[in-house]
Structure 1
Amino acid sequence: MDQHAQRHGARAARSHGTVEPEHGATTAARHPELAPGTSGMKGRARHIPATVSLPIITALAFGCFIIFRTHTAGIKGGPAMLYGLAGAVVSGALGLVVAHFQSTLITETRASAYGALFGCSLGWVYSLGGEAILKSCAFGFTMGAVMFVAALYVFRTHRTREPHGLHRPHKTHHRDDRSHRLPAATH
């Protein structure tokens, strides 16, 4: 071992020139995608953010629900699959847009965006079952309102996770700070 390593307490490994993992070397334990026998896709899947994976998973589930709904309404085979595919692609793309821009939206607008996407999607699927347009619109509006209230509740109760921090934080006024007060009225 060289003198520099001995002076700083480092230990060289017994093999030729490798460093023990406890001294800062990258190992498979710290980075599972580097482990031998691990596929590259599995390692990359751990790095997909939730703002991408959740809308895609939701869109796939929504597409399956559309296939189920159209199949039970009497549409068989290929057309039901096309409805499901179209619904999954459109709802997935809109979900990705909402999830991407949600950090720039205030709380009420973000909850409205999720409510509108959810309500329009479910209203359309409800109409695929042969229901009247007015009844489908009322169902979609009701489900959108429910999603708006649920999203608003979640966003307001989890303020620390919001991108904008606390919702409209109020400034505290100290009695010693007289520079922000208006002058007393004189008559």
Structure 2
Amino acid sequence: MDQHAHRHEARAARSHGTVDVEHGATANARSRDPQRAARPAGLAGLAERIPATVSLPVIAALAFGCFTIFRTHTDGTKGGPAMLYGLAAAVVTGLLGLALAHFQSSMITETRALAYGALFGCAIGWVYSLGGETILKSSAFGLTLGAVMFVVALYVFRTHRTREPHGIHRPHKPHRDHRLPVATH
């Protein structure tokens, strides 16, 4: 073992003459860069490089587009028009979701929850209307699910404040002690 590996308590692997990097030794130049060595190759590596503020709205938009295709098929629309409805729904909700995810760090908790609720409620209400339902029934359905999404988003944002990109909005200041100081003679 060389002195560097011995100093950092690394041990040589018995098979193939490799160095055990688990204990601080470096086997080659690639393992010296922890960012590069820890990154998997292929789709898993691509998934780690794309931030969640991009990947989650895109995945949600694709799922919403598929749901739109399903909903238009139940109304009797077949083939190309159903695919166009699904494509339009995926593009519009994807762009709105990306914009919301991009600007969410500048919003206070209640506004952010309201934005998520409004986007979800409008999208679901519109898709519900594609099935042949009346405008009033679709609006009520969208408003109800938007309110549910608002409550869920508000709950998640309030209970996971440490993960918020901008920290706690209204931190509590310590209460001042209004007692008089102790008299010293």
TM-score (norm 1): 0.76
Counterparts of 1:11-50 in structure 2, within 5 Å, are 21=21, 22-24=24-26, 25=28, 26-27=30-31, 30-33=37-40, 38-39=41-42, 42-50=44-52
Aligned-pair distance for 1:157? 1.1
- 1:117 and 1:177 map into 2 onto residues whose CA distance is 51
* Shift, 1:163, TM fit: 2.3
* Map of 2:122 onto structure 1: 120
Q: Does 1:64 align with 2:92?
A: no
Displaced runs of 4 or more, over 3 A: 8-11, 19-25
> How many residue pairs align between the two structures?
168
Identity of aligned residues (%): 67
Offset at 1:122?
A: 0.3
Any conservation in 2 of the 1:103–1:164 contact (CA below 8 Å)? yes
Alignment correspondent of 2:15: none
Unaligned runs of 5+ in 2: 13-17, 181-185
For the aligned residues, what is the CA RMSD?
Answer: 3.2
Structure having the higher helix fraction is 2
Q: CA deviation at 1:172?
A: 1.5
Q: Give the equivalent residue in structure 2 for 1:181.
A: none
- SS of alignment partner, residue 170 of structure 2: coil
User: Cα distance, 1:174 vs. partner?
Assistant: 2.6
| Residue number among 45, 51, 54 corresponding to 1:52 in the alignment | 54
Alignment correspondent of 2:183: none
Distance in 1, matches of 2:169 and 2:116, equals 18
Query: What's the counterpart of residue 158 of structure 2?
Result: 156
CA distance 1:84–1:177, change in 2 (3 Å) = farther
Which position in structure 2 is the counterpart of 1:174? 176
1:129-140 to 2 correspondences below 5 Å? 129-140=131-142
Unaligned runs of 5+ in 1: 14-18, 179-187
Post-superposition offset of 1:164: 2.9
